[in-house]
Amino acid sequence: MTSNRRQDVLEFLREHEEPVEIADIALALGVHVNTVRFHLEAMLATGQVERSVADGGRRGRPPQVFTATRVMDPQGPRHYEVLADMLVASLASSPQPQQQALDAGYLWGEQHVVASSGSDLADLLTMLADFDFAPAAPAQDAEDSRSIELRHCPFLDLARDRADIVCPIHLGLMRGFLAARDSDLTVDRLEAFVEPDRCVAHLATLSA
């Protein structure tokens, strides 16, 4: 497979402190030089390897040589869901878990800035769309025109198990975002999973 062969090339370079020629890599791995060249070009683009020119001493053009970049592999696996699980568990064990979750979301919302369209509601929808909540504002003549439907949860697996923590974070996110804009709007409450495919955020106007 392409990914396995690329990893073989990268591991070979990591095992050699000195720069290595393409032909030497191909010989060691038993593959064609063009195969090695293809993978090296891809890894140059991602910053996994570095290219230089071999020192002189031979006739003709000196060959290109490669070394593995001495950084954490940017193409390595990620396990952000594990970090999310740990953070949610930490919040759940705090003295006031829902309030702390709300505060965390509020701070997150305050710090998330979007280019303003001039409408607080429109900008709130843009922010929620940026975070993949798939928001939709009901039509003005709808029975409840002061609400936003959230048709996707970007943290669905966590929210199913720990809605008591994840949903207050989402509520705080919306409140913090509006507060940072000095909006007269806020989100009064968030109803989670009112139907299997949607949550509803209810808007309210702040008292003067």
pLDDT number for residue 179: 93
Domain span at residue 41 reads: 2-68
Domain presence at residue 74: no
Mean pLDDT is lowest, of 16-20, 129-133, 143-147, 178-182, for 143-147
Higher pLDDT, 63 or 128: 128
Instruction: Tell whether 99 and 62 lie within a shared domain.
Output: no
Instruction: Tell whether 60 and 101 lie within a shared domain.
Output: no
33 pLDDT more than 90: yes
Spatial separation of the C-alpha atoms in residues 22 and 39, rounded to whole Å: 11
Instruction: Tell whether 64 and 99 lie within a shared domain.
Output: no
- Residue 199's CB: how many other CB atoms inside 10 A? 22
Instruction: Tell whether 52 and 124 lie within a shared domain.
Output: no
Instruction: Tell whether 182 and 144 lie within a shared domain.
Output: yes
Domain presence at residue 162: yes
pLDDT, average across residues 103-130 = 87
pLDDT band with cut points at 50, 70 and 90 for residue 3: low
Instruction: Tell whether 56 and 101 lie within a shared domain.
Output: no
Higher pLDDT, 143 or 148: 148
Instruction: Tell whether 102 and 63 lie within a shared domain.
Output: no
Domain presence at residue 122: yes
Helix H or strand E encompassing 5: helix 2-14
Higher pLDDT, 61 or 206: 206
91: left (phi over 0), alpha (psi -120 to 50) or beta: alpha
Instruction: Tell whether 54 and 107 lie within a shared domain.
Output: no
Q: What is the pLDDT of residues 11-30, one digit of tens each?
A: 999 999 899 999 999 999 99
Domain presence at residue 79: no
Spatial separation of the C-alpha atoms in residues 150 and 71, rounded to whole Å: 40
As to burial, measured by CB atoms within 10 angstroms (0-12 exposed, 13-18 middle, 19+ buried), residue 193 is: middle
